[in-house]
């Protein structure tokens, strides 16, 4: 099998694309879901209003719920920005690891788990549900193909930012320079 050359510049570009999508989610999708949760909280408060006649307690509950949601959003957004800055500075780790287990995709109405590779030292890596290795002329493939091409005891380059496994490249297909 022919190997394609993998460089730290390519890895950095891939990570930057990943975090650009992640930040876009925080700016567009997450506020929509937060709005939905606030609406649900509002209707819950209206329901409690029927049971609980004290209006001051309702105001306090609403303020506390909105404050908690806002703080959670701010915490997650700050972590995403911090990781994006790390990547821009080139602060990511490339580790050598091998596959010890493969977990199939689960897609039901109530549960979703992506195809997952379990590494000996790095832990779990959920294969992104998109076209992987887009930059590659030989090996750009969807998540199911990455899963099928990976065997137990295969060696990988696992790319970590902080404590998260963000990318994994098979040594069968890629050579790091």
CA-CA distance, 164 to 177, in Å (whole number)?
Answer: 23
Q: What is the pLDDT of residues 143-173, one digit of tens each?
A: 999 999 999 999 999 999 888 888 999 999 9
Q: What is the pLDDT of residues 54-105, one digit of tens each?
A: 667 667 777 777 788 778 878 888 888 888 888 888 888 999 999 999 999 8
pTM: 0.75
């Amino acid at each position: 099998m022919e190997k394609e050359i993998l460089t730290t510049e390519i890895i950095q570009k891939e990570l930057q694309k990943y975090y650009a999508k992640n930040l876009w989610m925080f700016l567009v999708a997450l506020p929509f879901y937060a709005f939905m949760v606030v609406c649900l909280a509002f209707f819950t408060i209206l329901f409690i209003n029927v049971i609980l006649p004290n209006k001051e307690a309702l105001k306090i509950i609403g303020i506390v719920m909105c404050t908690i949601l806002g703080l959670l959003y701010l915490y997650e957004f700050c972590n995403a920005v911090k990781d994006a800055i790390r990547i821009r500075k080139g602060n990511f780790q490339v580790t050598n690891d091998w596959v010890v287990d493969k977990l199939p995709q689960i897609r039901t109405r109530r549960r979703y788990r992506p195809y997952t590779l379990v590494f000996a030292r790095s832990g779990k890596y959920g294969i992104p549900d998109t076209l992987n290795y887009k930059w590659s002329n030989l090996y750009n493939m969807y998540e199911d193909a990455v899963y099928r091409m990976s065997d137990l005891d295969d060696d990988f380059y696992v790319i970590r930012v902080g404590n998260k496994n963000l990318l994994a490249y098979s040594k069968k297909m890629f050579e790091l320079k």
